[in-house]
A and B are shown apart, each in its own frame.
Chain A
Amino acid sequence: MSKRSYDGVAKVFDYFAVGDMRRWGPSQRTLFKNLKGRILYIGIGTGQEIVNFPSGLNITAADLSFEMLKRSHKRVANYKGTINRCQMDAETTAFADNTFDTVVTVCVLCTVKQPMNCLQEIKRVLKPGGELVMFEHVLSKNPVYALPLKMMSYITEYLQGTYLDRNTVANVEKAGFKIHSHKNVYLDIVKALVARAD
Chain B
Amino acid sequence: MNLKIADFFIGAFSGALVAGVVSYISPPFMPMLVGGLIGMVLILPLKIALMPFFGAFEVMIPLAIIGMTVGMGAGMLSTLDVNNIVIASGALTGLLVATIIHFSNKRYTAE
What is the interface of chain A, defined by CB distance below 8 A to chain B?
Answer: 15-20, 22-24, 137, 142, 144-145, 147-149, 151-152, 155, 183-190
Chain A interface SS verdict (over half)? helix
Question: Of B11-19, B25-33, B81-89, B102-110, which stretch is located at the interface?
Answer: B102-110
State whether the Cβ of B61 lies closer than 8 Å to any Cβ in chain A. Answer: yes
**How close is A10's CB to chain B, nearest CB, in angstroms?**
15
Q: Taking beta carbons and an 8 Å cutoff, which residues of B are in contact with A?
A: 3, 44, 47, 51-61, 64-65, 101, 104-105, 108-109, 111
A185 to B64: give the CA distance in the assembly, Å.
20
B54 touches A187 (CB 8 A): no
Instruction: State A18–B47 Cα separation when bound (angstroms).
Output: 14
B58 touches A23 (CB 8 A): yes
Q: Which residues on A sit within 8 Å (CB–CB) of B56?
A: 16, 19-20
In the complex formed, the residue of A with least CB distance to B67 is A148
In whole angstroms, how far apart are the Cα atoms of A147 and B110 in the complex?
Answer: 23
Nearest-Cβ distance from residue B74 to partner chain A, whole angstroms: 19
| Closest Cβ–Cβ distance, residue B100 to chain A (whole Å) | 10
Contact, CB under 8 Å: A186 / B58:
yes
Contact of A145 among B44, B47, B61 (CB under 8 A): B61
Expressed in whole angstroms, the Cα–Cα distance for A92 and B24 within the complex equals 55
A137 to B53, CA, bound (A): 18
Distance between Cα atoms of A20 and B105 in the complex (Å): 16
Q: Which residue of B lies closest to A140 (CB)?
A: B61
Kindly report which residue of chain A lies nearest to residue B4, judged by CB atoms: A23
Across chains A and B, the number of contacting residue pairs, with CB separation under 8 Å, is 61
Closest to B110 in A: A184
A22 to B52, CA, bound (A): 10
Given A186-B105, A187-B104, CB of A148 within 8 Å of CB of B60: yes
Residue in contact with A15 in the complex, picked from B47, B52, B64, B105, CB distance below 8 Å:
B52
A152 touches B60 (CB 8 A): yes
Q: In the complex, what residue of chain A is closest to B109 when comparing beta carbons?
A: A184
Q: Which of B52, B56, B59, B105 lies at the interface centre, i.e. has the most chain A CB atoms within 10 A of its CB?
A: B56
In the complex, A96→B99 CA distance in Å?
Answer: 50
- The answer to whether A187 and B55 have CB atoms under 8 Å apart is no
Which residues of the other chain, B, contact A22 by a CB distance below 8 angstroms? 3, 55
* Alpha-carbon gap, A155 to B60, bound state (A): 12
Q: A186-B105, A188-B108 are in contact. Are A19 and B61 (CB under 8 A)?
A: no
Closest chain A residue to B104 by CB distance?
A187
A69 to B15, CA, bound (A): 40
- With a cutoff of 8 Å between Cβ atoms, the chain A residues found around residue B64 in the complex are 147-148, 151-152
Q: List 20 A-B contacts (CB under 8 A).
A: A15-B52, A16-B56, A18-B52, A18-B53, A19-B3, A19-B52, A19-B56, A19-B59, A24-B55, A142-B104, A144-B65, A149-B60, A152-B47, A186-B57, A186-B105, A186-B108, A187-B57, A187-B61, A187-B105, A189-B61
